[in-house]
Amino acid sequence: MSRFGAGQIKGGDRALQVLNTIRDAVILLDPDDVIRFANLEAEYFFLSSSTHLEGRTIADFVPFSSPLIALIRQVREHGSPINEYRVDLSSPRIGSERIVDIHVTPVSEEPGAMVIVFRERSMADKFDRQMTHRGAARSVTGLAAMLGHEIKNPLSGIRGAAQLLEASASDEDRALTQLIRAEADRIVSLVDRMEVFSDERPVERHAVNIHVVLDRVQQIARTGFAHDVRFSQDYDPSLPDVAGDQDQLIQVFLNLVKNAAEACASADRPQIRLRTAYRPGVHLSIPGANERVSLPLEFSVEDNGPGVPEDMQIHMFDPFITTKTNGSGLGLALVAKIVGDHGGVIECDSAPGRTVFRILMPAAPASMPRLSGEPAAAALANPEARS
């Protein structure tokens, strides 16, 4: 018989308070698939009180053919957690259009028992928006190519003419010719940045140790734009290498860290936290691909700034969208393009005092070559390998 009694959760009343404040439905199943605990959100999700839920099997609330039953069986067989996104749990019992993310984690103290989290605000929706971001970034490609030919050449002539006029202009007119040159240079600089989007060459991938990338970005930031920011790291030292272009990955995280530094500059104690983690259960269906792509590597950049306005969050990776007074709105669009070219996705969660940019990417195959002189992630995890 299971050791779990009805509503018995380790940690007492404080643990119950914490679980009941979570905005995701959380249930605890014993080895016989009997619900032994359901938080407040689970009551709303299953349209039943906790006293009605606890003591009944999960099969009483979802059909036997439900994907949830298969996930529970899979976790029991393999003993490892699984995340599944955009799962349809619609049924006459709990209602129609119940598309959720499911996180199933085994309980180590009780073989066969598990905690299941249902998230109605689906991460899959963020992935769908990421596909839109990729398309929006690539939509700049044709515009960039056109601007390079139709604008840069005339601007060169305008700038040259202003420079010739400046030589014989009065002091008052010289200020105007200098303004013409400065504005021409600014437009050319903007066009140069846009031309990056027209680069459709395939990414030249190597096995890259992401911690080397993050350490280099941090070094650049500390000696420049983020010298007043406190950095902290939460790295998984055994993380596998990522398949990617090291220079492009440095560009991605340099943009994200620069944005984070600017965002938290107004905080009393500006802080940026860099995290890496391994999430083996994350898979994504890519349009045109026959299989779900595994994205087990998670990298995040977190700051303690004021956050991003809610109405801006869904447009953050679109070109020309920015909250900065003098920003061009191309930085995050370029980040989304590079991450997409690497087969990954990027998302943002923001609230006052905490903004997190999270990147999910595929791991490098064991046969993929590594850049010369770059240590592997396993070498950094093994102190003897570093000596």
What pLDDT band is residue 148 in, cutting at 50, 70 and 90?
low
What are the structural domain ranges in the chain? Answer: 12-121, 125-198, 206-386
Of residues 288 and 362, the one with the higher pLDDT is 362
What pLDDT band is residue 48 in, cutting at 50, 70 and 90?
confident
Cα 324 to chain centroid distance, Å, stands at 21
pLDDT tens, position by position, 203-246? 788 899 999 999 999 999 998 899 899 999 999 988 999 999 89
Extract the tokens encoding 331.
Answer: 């930085």
What pLDDT band is residue 302 in, cutting at 50, 70 and 90?
very high
SS3 82: strand
| Residues in contact with 4: Cβ distance below 8 Å, sequence separation at least 6, in sequence order | 28, 30, 36, 37, 110, 113
pTM of this structure: 0.53
Look at residue 33 in the predicted model and tell me its pLDDT. 92
What pLDDT band is residue 321 in, cutting at 50, 70 and 90?
low
When the candidates are 3.40.980.10, 1.10.645.10, 1.10.275.10, 3.30.450.20, the CATH number that belongs to 12-121 is 3.30.450.20
**How far is 23 from 40, CA to CA, in rounded Å?**
9
SS3 217: helix
Q: Under CATH, domain 206-386 is a member of which superfamily?
A: Histidine kinase-like ATPase, C-terminal domain (3.30.565.10)
Q: What is the mean pLDDT of the chain?
A: 78
Q: Please, what's the largest Cα pairwise distance for the chain?
A: 97
Extract the tokens encoding 200.
Answer: 């459709």
Q: Is the pLDDT of residue 261 over 90?
A: yes
Give, rounded to a whole angstrom, the gap between the first and last alpha carbons of the chain.
52
**How far is 116 from 68, CA to CA, in rounded Å?**
10
Look at residue 286 in the predicted model and tell me its pLDDT. 52
Q: Is the pLDDT of residue 141 over 60?
A: no
Question: Of all helices (H) and strands (E), which one includes residue 372?
Answer: none
**How far is 336 from 317, CA to CA, in rounded Å?**
6
| Mean pLDDT score, 66-75 | 88
